[in-house]
Structure 1
Amino acid sequence: MKLTSKTIEQLLTEHDLLISKPDIDLTFDFLHYDTRQVKKNTLFVVKGAFRIEYLQSATGITGLITADLLAVDIPQWQVTDVQKALSILSMAFFDDPQNLLWIGAFTGTKGKTTAAYMAYNILKDATQNHTALFSTVDRITGPKPADKKKSDLTTPESYELFKDMRRAVDNGMTHLIMEVSSQAYLKQRVYGLRYNVGAFLNISPDHIGPNEHPTFQDYLAHKMMLFDHSDQVIINAQTDHLADIIAHARQTHDKIYTYSTTGNGGHYTYVSKESAIHESRLVVAPSDLEELTGNYRLNLPGDFNESNAMAALIMSSFAGAKHKSMVHGLDVVFIPGRMLSLPIAGHGVAFVDYAHNYASMHALLSFAQTQYPEGRVLVVIGSPGNKGVSRRADFGKVVSELADVVYLTADDPQYESPLAIAKEIAQNITNENLEVHFEMDRIQAINAAIKEAGESDIVIVAGKGEDPYQKINGIDEPYIGDYAVVKNYQD
């Protein structure tokens, strides 16, 4: 929709964001925050590392939303927080699509993408393919191939978020499953957005560094903000810091829905029956949600995925899904880049997984050990540059605990030296018996690990999954993806 001066003033005032406004009556045809994307008669939001020179090369900007008044002859609305302003103005510009969707959201250190795909598959069946998905891997806004695109962020910038919600609504979608990261709240990408259901999966240190959360307490605080904006909340009763999480949820909710394995405190419980290399099976105990009760086959290995399945089952039941759709959704679920396995003649089995923090790596390696108790665990891993600095120590710790051989390599090094990052990981390795290799060419590192593996061994290639690029010096350099490297291996 068009944005008028009156609408802009009203929205900014309602959210206590307006500092000053121009004395002018305008109507804008377009909204954006990137000067390369502006059109004729655009209201432009000045955010991030903006330089005034950018305006000189942009044609069509007729109004500005800015934290600091600029020395340009353009009407300006000065605000206290441009990120919040961008979010509420984006909602209005795209005609409030969030109000036309049932929205379920997952947060947690690990498992967000897996749980989101599970709930998406269940509701896709329950709604006859009228469910959208916003995940770390894909954003799906409709039933056609053209409605699916690769995600660049777990939770996109608010403008892109509401733009894709509008696409989903226009495509006839009635439900949306999405991941919500701590960064989404830190950067105000979801400011003003409310969810029908918010699920908290787990918490462990992650995203702590100079450009992210300064402390674990800050990280946890931003994760828990999901409760403040959800009508119903679901919490894993087996998560760390449960007392703090429950206490925060009770500030805004009288009723809290918890889940766990049987005997571990959850209102809804399940028993793990089988955890094989290509699937797992669980039984959900009878409860007041009758649709949940019964046996499920999960088209993913690892008992750690069963906990994610339980959260997805509860959320989808709140959306009205029936037992038949729940069984079907879990039976067919597939997550690109997650727990992809490939046996390699003479070299055991290789697993490709997006695991990229201590919690997910620990779960993955522990599962590998249970499946191949007689063999060695060989790991190929790196850590991103310019973000998540705390992960480097965590990776050193987890390979020390659970790996026999590690190949340290590049993983989206950005503006840092991949070798320097690898050495930081190595500095935190405490297991003297762990065999450590440095190979910054990721393809060569994967091939070397497979070549070293014997028939009873397992190779874990962690971090990138099927990502088609490496982030190097601000450029997305093409990359065939870890699974393709494994598949193409030849002795």
Structure 2
Amino acid sequence: MSLKVSKAIEILKKHDLLVSSKVSDEDTTVTNISYNSQEKQTNGIFFCKGNNFKAAYLKQALDAGAVIYVAEKEFDDNADNLIVSDVQKALALLSAAYFGNPENDLFIVAFTGTKGKTTTSYFIYDILKEIYPQKVALFSTIDRVVGPKPEDKFKSDLTTPESLDLFRDMRTAVDNGMTHLVMEVSSQAYKKNRVFGLTFDIGGFLNITPDHIGPNEHPTYADYLFCKKQLLINSKINIINRDTNDFETVYDAAKQTSSDDNIYLFGRDKTKDHLDFLLSSKEATLKDSIFNISALNQKAEALNIAGDYKLGLVGDFNEINGTAAIIATGLLDVPVSNIYDGLQGAHVPGRMEHIDTKSHGIIFIDYAHNYASMKALLGFLRNEYPDSKIKVVVGSPGDKGVSRRGGFSKVLTELADSAILTTDDPGFEDPADICRQIDEKIDHSKVDTQIILDREQAIKTMISNSQNGDIIVLAAKGDDPYQKTKGVDVPYPTDPVVARNVLKDIEGE
């Protein structure tokens, strides 16, 4: 991979980002790109990014062999530089060019939403990989899949990675023979310009509720909504849940760049206008659910996807995710029989996994990590098990998503019988403080609550003190194998493993 400095200047000028340039030779070709001063820098272009960037980082990069740097201000007037108005946008554009614009060799399906984007992405991935074996890449909150070999699958650090890492992984995927990419796009991806310049072949909007509001994320809900809707503006074809909050704002965003023929709306309420597909539930059990999709106009009928579907993941909220996946794969001309089979067999790590016990109730493990997803989960379980006690083990992360804490307080008060508040990726915050913030807003006349900071002990306590008929929910962490604590990823067995170990101890084999 390489990038000619003259080409970098041309790209930055085209996007009105270049403020000034100080370059000794525009014919110079860089063969390395980085924003981390601890990485290899030989003959590289280095990006000075981040609110906490220090001139010492640039010195380290230059000493290690970087030949030019990109920044929003001059740090070293003795080194070649490109001064830009927005270094994050510059990083995205120049990373794409450095890696040979791999996005042009991939059909990209991208989804956003406060809840459901991971599940929807996995549904689409599981359907497509049967049609295009060893040709489908996945960039999700949980996993990154960039090729057909075991070593091409690894855990994700971010829902949507930094732009340089994103384009690097796209290049790897293309070089590994991938032709399709399914990815989640977070609001932070647009807030931080990680996907600046990208146009998606299909973009989907599932829902939006107040979340990710806090000092390290979005300052306001309006800012959150603005960033979320950018996916639709930057997609050729749009799929939208008609029942989302702020629908008119979301729909108007899609219409900015897509015609009505390229916008597909689905939902449960047939009285709403513009609806293309009607979703209706038919039957639900502990292990699966059956739902129907009806085509309401010629545009919808043309996809030939109307009919009944079985989903191997319980919850009426997952039927929404399934419908979005069906429409997306229908747009790719996947035969309906393959969509049916792929959806029925789809598996999402850490989503609605359940464990039957001998004498301690039923345990559900789910990644639900905000008010909307927790309400959907607990609401479904309350409807399915009206006579059961619903017991929840949950924590909230530090350093971000501060608004989630009040959301957890609210949903636990509304739908839980008891709760144990515990640790979940505390970061640089005190997990006890986080738990107290949740606890102080819970109505304790409705919910029995205790705080146990050791997550494994919290799970053990909840299971040990439960009985047949109880529903235990281990929420918000799913299959995550780490606790992010003070900048360190501390290994954690995962909630399912902890639960099974507890059951082995108290119930035996």
**TM-score class, shorter:** over 0.9
In 2: Cα distance, 1:78 partner to 1:288 partner: 52
CA 1:291–1:121: 2 relative to 1, 3 Å = farther
Aligned length: 491
Q: Name the residue aligned to 1:258.
A: 265
Q: Name the residue aligned to 1:12.
A: 12
Q: Name the residue aligned to 1:67.
A: 72
List structure 1 runs of 4+ shifted beyond 3 angstroms.
55-58
Q: Name the residue aligned to 1:24.
A: 24
State how 1:113-262 maps to structure 2 within 5 Å: 113-255=118-260, 256-261=263-268
1:181-225 alpha-carbon deviations (Å, 9 max, x no partner) = 100000000000000111100010000001111111110111001
Q: Name the residue aligned to 1:391.
A: 404
In 1: Cα distance, 2:218 partner to 2:58 partner: 31
One-letter amino acid matched to 1:34: N
TM-score, with length taken from structure 1 = 0.98
1:275 aligns with 2:289: no
Structure 1 residue 38, shift from structure 2 partner: 2.2
1:321-374 alpha-carbon deviations (Å, 9 max, x no partner) = 111220111011101111111112211111111110000000111111122222
State how 1:417-428 maps to structure 2 within 5 Å: 417-428=430-441
Structure 1 residue 290, shift from structure 2 partner: 4.2
Structure 1 residue 160, shift from structure 2 partner: 0.7
Structure 1 residue 254, shift from structure 2 partner: 2.3
1:46-85 alpha-carbon deviations (Å, 9 max, x no partner) = 1112212224444111110011101353211100011000
In 2: Cα distance, 1:247 partner to 1:57 partner: 47
In 2: Cα distance, 1:168 partner to 1:290 partner: 29
CA 1:81–1:433: 2 relative to 1, 3 Å = same
In 2: Cα distance, 1:137 partner to 1:242 partner: 28
Q: Name the residue aligned to 2:45.
A: 43
Structure 1 residue 319, shift from structure 2 partner: 1.9
One-letter amino acid matched to 1:261: R
* Stretch deviating more after TM superposition (348-357 or 252-261): 252-261
In 2: Cα distance, 1:197 partner to 1:219 partner: 21
CA contact (8 A) 2:23 2:81 kept: no
2:100 to 88, 95, 101: 95
* Stretch deviating more after TM superposition (312-321 or 219-228): 312-321
Q: Name the residue aligned to 1:284.
A: 293
Q: Name the residue aligned to 1:54.
A: 57
CA contact (8 A) 2:303 2:331 kept: no
CA contact (8 A) 2:303 2:333 kept: no
Structure 1 residue 262, shift from structure 2 partner: 5.8
CA 1:302–1:57: 2 relative to 1, 3 Å = same
2:327 to 314, 334, 340: 314
2:109 to 104, 122, 130: 104
* Stretch deviating more after TM superposition (461-470 or 19-28): 19-28
Q: Name the residue aligned to 1:86.
A: 91
In 1: Cα distance, 2:286 partner to 2:323 partner: 20
CA contact (8 A) 1:261 1:270 kept: yes
1:138-181 alpha-carbon deviations (Å, 9 max, x no partner) = 11111211111100101000011111111111111111111001
In 2: Cα distance, 1:321 partner to 1:297 partner: 17
Structure 1 residue 279, shift from structure 2 partner: 1.0
CA contact (8 A) 1:237 1:264 kept: no
In 2: Cα distance, 1:44 partner to 1:218 partner: 30
Question: Cα RMSD (Å) of the superposition?
Answer: 1.3
TM-score, with length taken from structure 2 = 0.94
CA contact (8 A) 2:303 2:330 kept: no
In structure 2, stretches of 5+ residues that fail to align are none
In structure 1, stretches of 5+ residues that fail to align are none
1:260-283 alpha-carbon deviations (Å, 9 max, x no partner) = 126253311222111221111112
One-letter amino acid matched to 1:9: I
In 2: Cα distance, 1:416 partner to 1:23 partner: 44
Q: Is the partner of 1:448 in helix, strand or coil?
A: helix
1:203-261 alpha-carbon deviations (Å, 9 max, x no partner) = 10000001111111110111001111000111101111112222222222221210012
* Stretch deviating more after TM superposition (298-307 or 47-56): 47-56
